[in-house]
A and B are shown apart, each in its own frame.
Chain A
């Protein structure tokens, strides 16, 4: 039996139902995981941490969610090779969990920004959008107040050198260093982006480019 995609919800996650639906739109089975849940490392085909305001963004965006019980299981799953995707607040949680390098700080505008952005695929991810070629373009929407990617100069250099930069903005919307919109972990199992692929699944939504990110999970059994 083919495995489901685990969609992780924290109190305050608000893109959970959207991601669940997007996974289904891509023809895959989705299953809920709650912040208090624990699960076996190889149980899921892939895991997704959706966007929203987990724990109300209190303390720092993602900081409280990163310390939830479910994250111990996410860590083990990632270590055992399960692909993990973080979207928006999910990206923030993964950085706060130290599963991803860098940090996400307030947008340069110091305001929430909702807009469509054009992205360049720098290095394709092996699971999420694995058939994308380096240099390909994606059109996806952003909706965040704290999406400015930040890392030390040495860290940034390392990310570029080791092929961990996933996506960059063509026109930087938020002051992210070196236009970075998405990154991967050292072992490349964990990946995250600030834009919302689940909001770009059909032409009527404004773009279908988000489909690619979920669809390629089919090749994992």
Chain B
């Protein structure tokens, strides 16, 4: 059956203008096999066509950065021979359709981005946004996503050490599932790259066999949802973490034995993107025999082979003399390594099926020349900003026991947090800390982005998505070093969405530069829109940082009685009635953002965290000081209920910390010298019976909101 151009455009999710551009570049009307290639590689998901011109603005280099954009993940030098590769990625669309597999394959995919570079994955983090607990399917989605992340991460043996879970109605029909993976290169480990090289070298396929799962996954992820998303279930990939575990071990082994020239995982758009990207990056060509690709289904067509997103597969370039050694390693792990082609000197990708040439094309056309859209946006003007200062009689509700202020134990308990013997601080802590095995230093990991700040103002929220996790790290004496991001936004064709995107990207970059923590990897997820409703713009971030040792960490809960407790507020941005009875209404704010002042406050907090007279330290979280005091009291030592009540009237500074210790009254002004801060004595730590019942409320709240998930 032959389709009209219009039908094909719809099927392959391309616009007429894009089709015309493709025809012009290849010099003829698109042939049958060319359609799926353009559809996949020119999809938003693969080409970043709406975001590229803005992503270039990111501060992404300093002396520590070994690899940034263009590779599978960013690589940062920690000194002493230790390096980390890390990245964050979204799997929002598949997770909404099929939560278990969607989330599981999200974890699998981000892990492959890390070990394909030769780094051993040592930690996972997740950033999740769900709708209201009572929204349709929400309990099912929460359950499936959490099980999926655990099911995959636990089995491959990578600990999940930190994360964040948010709830808001804007995610009712479009949840966010972002996973971050961190991999470690020990002092003598090699970094592998994806640049194909050396005409005559073999193209080798390793890992799971190719099936029909995930065909058109990339273009699906580049489209808004409609009411029959359910029908897209067959587009969702199926993961096998057992296979991934074997792939991790075998790939790391061949990389460290120096047996591969180049390697890349088959992620979005599968074999198509890995082969074309490897060839284009290396400025070489590639001949590939699709009939040599190991298949799990003999009825699969060449087009489906090219677009399949079957999981746990890698493509390698190997010198012919080393192929036997490669085969030995993979055979040891029970995996096949199949030669599917070779590298050509001329810059052309030639695909064959049973001896017949299907296509010959310059890979740059697909990889380097997708359309780039300068989507309409408006210069940013602050939203919800008021000139006057907050009124004195405002009172914050603690919101204790709401979904936002409920224990996440139900989630974190399902994750293996300790496999690998490196976990110093697990999911119970505001930020994770991992012990680096060779130097003994601490590697901090935190995720960021407070959607409630994004709803107030997208630029403020962008700054905050770096500043807040950096402040949380500082409380643990960790210096933020580098950043990955996962920019989840709605429909970029709508100027108000694009404006928020641009504003937050600029803010992130400015903050990254001021902290000298470059953005070294990342992912953009657009079209988080269902039936015209866009999600809260959510630029999730992942930060890695360093600490010179893992000793003398400050507690994030009160530890001892009789200590003085102080609130230190940076006098910069104040939120008005931020967390009142109607949390759906964005708060108003006043003040003037000043990046340098925020960075200084973060640095001073890190100095504070080094003092032995400080025993606990915590960044105040969104619902204000009183809520944070309740959180700090979860270990059974509190400040007394009258102090909690009094602190409900504390102004909501965007950046505040609570510190407890001895003899701090003169120390604090010295530490924060040169910053405009307010230092307020909150009270004294003491045993408080109410802590026990407040802890119970916090722990039971989850079950109140999710009756079947207690």
- Scan residues 3-54 of chain A and give those whose CB is less than 8 A from a CB of chain B: 11-12, 14-15, 17-18, 21-22, 52-53
CB distance from B667 to the nearest CB of A (A): 27
Contact call B419/A18, Cβ cutoff below 8 A: yes
Residues of A within 8 A of B414 (CB): 111-114
Q: Does B423 contact A (CB under 8 A)?
A: yes
- Scan residues 141-160 of chain B and give those whose CB is less than 8 A from a CB of chain A: 147, 150-151, 154-157
Interface size on B, residues (CB 8 A): 29
Residues of A within 8 A of B333 (CB): 11
Residues of B within 8 A of A58 (CB): 242
Residues of B within 8 A of A56 (CB): 155, 240-243, 245
A190-202, CB under 8 A of B: which get 1 and which 0? 0000001011010
B384-424, CB under 8 A of A: which get 1 and which 0? 00000000000000000000000000001111111111011
Q: Does A57 contact B (CB under 8 A)?
A: yes
B470-508, CB under 8 A of A: which get 1 and which 0? 000000000000000000000000000000000000000
Contact call B242/A204, Cβ cutoff below 8 A: no
Residues of A within 8 A of B555 (CB): none
Residues of A within 8 A of B150 (CB): 112
Contact call A12/B418, Cβ cutoff below 8 A: no
In the complex with contacts A14-B156, A53-B245, A204-B421 CB distance below 8 A: no
**Nearest-CB residue, chain A, relative to B245:** A12
Residues of A within 8 A of B241 (CB): 53, 56
In the complex with contacts A112-B414, A113-B414, A204-B435, A14-B242 CB distance below 8 A: no
Q: Does A115 contact B (CB under 8 A)?
A: yes
Q: How far is the CA of A145 from the CA of B414 in the complex (A)?
A: 9
Contact call A11/B334, Cβ cutoff below 8 A: yes
Q: Does A55 contact B (CB under 8 A)?
A: yes
Contact call B419/A15, Cβ cutoff below 8 A: yes
In the complex with contacts A11-B246, A14-B157, A114-B417, A204-B550 CB distance below 8 A: yes
Residues of A within 8 A of B421 (CB): 18, 21-22, 198-199, 201, 205
Chain A, interface size: which category?
20 to 34
Residues of A within 8 A of B418 (CB): 114, 141, 143, 196, 199, 205
Contact call A114/B424, Cβ cutoff below 8 A: no
Q: How far is the CA of A201 from the CA of B437 in the complex (A)?
A: 14
Residues of A within 8 A of B417 (CB): 114, 143
Residues of B within 8 A of A17 (CB): 420
Residues of B within 8 A of A115 (CB): 413
CB distance from B343 to the nearest CB of A (A): 31
Q: How far is the CA of A56 from the CA of B242 in the complex (A)?
A: 5
**Total CB contacts across the A-B interface at under 8 A:** 79
- Scan residues 639-655 of chain B and give those whose CB is less than 8 A from a CB of chain A: none
Residues of A within 8 A of B155 (CB): 12, 14, 53, 56-57
Residues of B within 8 A of A201 (CB): 421
- Scan residues 132-191 of chain B and give those whose CB is less than 8 A from a CB of chain A: 147, 150-151, 154-157
In the complex with contacts A56-B155, A198-B421, A114-B242 CB distance below 8 A: no
CB distance from B21 to the nearest CB of A (A): 45
Q: How far is the CA of A147 from the CA of B543 in the complex (A)?
A: 35
Contact call B413/A204, Cβ cutoff below 8 A: no
Residues of A within 8 A of B420 (CB): 17-18
Q: How far is the CA of A161 from the CA of B420 in the complex (A)?
A: 38
Contact call A205/B242, Cβ cutoff below 8 A: no
- Scan residues 39-79 of chain A and give those whose CB is less than 8 A from a CB of chain B: 52-53, 55-58
A162-196, CB under 8 A of B: which get 1 and which 0? 00000000000000000000000000000000001
Residues of A within 8 A of B416 (CB): 112, 114, 143
CB distance from A80 to the nearest CB of B (A): 29
**Nearest-CB residue, chain A, relative to B442:** A204
Residues of B within 8 A of A199 (CB): 418-419, 421
Contact call A114/B245, Cβ cutoff below 8 A: no
**Nearest-CB residue, chain A, relative to B709:** A111
Q: How far is the CA of A113 from the CA of B421 in the complex (A)?
A: 18
CB distance from B416 to the nearest CB of A (A): 4
A121-154, CB under 8 A of B: which get 1 and which 0? 0000000000000000000010101000000000
**Nearest-CB residue, chain B, relative to A115:** B413
CB distance from B549 to the nearest CB of A (A): 10
**Nearest-CB residue, chain A, relative to B414:** A112
- Scan residues 100-119 of chain A and give those whose CB is less than 8 A from a CB of chain B: 111-115
Contact call B412/A114, Cβ cutoff below 8 A: yes
Residues of A within 8 A of B156 (CB): 14
Q: How far is the CA of A199 from the CA of B147 in the complex (A)?
A: 23
Residues of B within 8 A of A22 (CB): 421
Residues of B within 8 A of A205 (CB): 418, 421, 423-424
CB distance from B505 to the nearest CB of A (A): 36
Contact call A53/B242, Cβ cutoff below 8 A: yes
Residues of B within 8 A of A113 (CB): 413-414
Residues of A within 8 A of B423 (CB): 205
Residues of B within 8 A of A52 (CB): 157
Contact call A12/B242, Cβ cutoff below 8 A: yes
**Nearest-CB residue, chain A, relative to B551:** A204
CB distance from A61 to the nearest CB of B (A): 11
Best-buried of B243, B333, B416, B423 by chain A (most CB within 10 Å): B416
Q: How far is the CA of A140 from the CA of B608 in the complex (A)?
A: 33
Residues of B within 8 A of A14 (CB): 155-157, 245, 419
CB distance from B528 to the nearest CB of A (A): 29
Residues of A within 8 A of B151 (CB): 112
Best-buried of A22, A52, A115 by chain B (most CB within 10 Å): A52
Residues of B within 8 A of A53 (CB): 154-155, 157, 241-242, 245
Contact call A114/B334, Cβ cutoff below 8 A: no
Q: How far is the CA of A17 from the CA of B186 in the complex (A)?
A: 15
Best-buried of A22, A56, A196 by chain B (most CB within 10 Å): A56
Q: How far is the CA of A11 from the CA of B335 in the complex (A)?
A: 11
Q: How far is the CA of A160 from the CA of B317 in the complex (A)?
A: 59
Residues of B within 8 A of A204 (CB): 424, 435, 550
Contact call A55/B550, Cβ cutoff below 8 A: no
Q: How far is the CA of A199 from the CA of B419 in the complex (A)?
A: 7
Q: How far is the CA of A31 from the CA of B241 in the complex (A)?
A: 26
Residues of A within 8 A of B412 (CB): 114
CB distance from A132 to the nearest CB of B (A): 22
CB distance from A23 to the nearest CB of B (A): 12
Best-buried of B156, B245, B334 by chain A (most CB within 10 Å): B245
Residues of B within 8 A of A18 (CB): 419-421
- Scan residues 221-246 of chain B and give those whose CB is less than 8 A from a CB of chain A: 240-243, 245-246
**Nearest-CB residue, chain B, relative to A52:** B157
8 A–B pairs (Cβ distance < 8 Å), ordered by A = A17-B420, A18-B419, A55-B242, A56-B241, A56-B243, A143-B418, A198-B421, A205-B424
The chain A residues found within 8 Å of chain B, CB to CB, are 11-12, 14-15, 17-18, 21-22, 52-53, 55-58, 111-115, 141, 143, 145, 196, 198-199, 201, 204-205
List 6 other contacts, CB 8 Å, given A12-B245, A18-B419, A111-B147.
A11-B246, A12-B242, A18-B421, A112-B415, A199-B421, A204-B550
The chain B residues found within 8 Å of chain A, CB to CB, are 147, 150-151, 154-157, 240-243, 245-246, 333-334, 412-421, 423-424, 435, 550
Q: Which 5 pairs, one residue from A and one from B, show the smallest C-beta to C-beta distance?
A: A14-B157, A56-B242, A143-B416, A53-B155, A199-B418
